[in-house]
Amino acid sequence: MKTITKKRNEKWQLQEAKAMFSNLVKAAYSRPQIITVRGKETAVILSFEEYKNLSAPKQSLFDFIQKSPLRDFILELPQRQSEEMRQVNL
């Protein structure tokens, strides 16, 4: 059986991707593979390592705030004057 190798960033048509699935998966080890349906980019196959890198949280909100140079800044806002509520006819 002839092995089809894809060039970098070349797209796979869906029917070709189904027929050559093992080659598609092997190619995804080195770079993401784009699958098209009727000429429209529809899906991407990528290595599990790449998926983990993309889906792992980069930093928690708590860590972000702790590392902020403004962490110890105190924001002082003027006090609002309390006013009577206005009447609204419904």
Local structure of 79: helix, strand or coil: coil
Do the Cβ atoms of 5 and 28 come closer than 8 Å? no
pLDDT of residue 43: 96
- Written as six digits, the tokens of 43 are 């899906």
pLDDT over threshold 50, residue 1: no
Sequence spans of domains, the chain: 11-67
pLDDT of residue 74: 87
Specify the range with the lowest mean pLDDT, choosing from 1-10, 33-42, 73-82.
1-10
Contacts for 50 with CB less than 8 Å, ≥ 6 apart: 32
Element (H, E) at 34: strand 33-37
Model confidence pLDDT, tens digit, residues 14-73:
999 999 999 999 999 999 999 999 999 999 999 999 999 898 888 888 888 888 888 888
CATH architecture of 11-67: 3-Layer(aba) Sandwich (3.40)
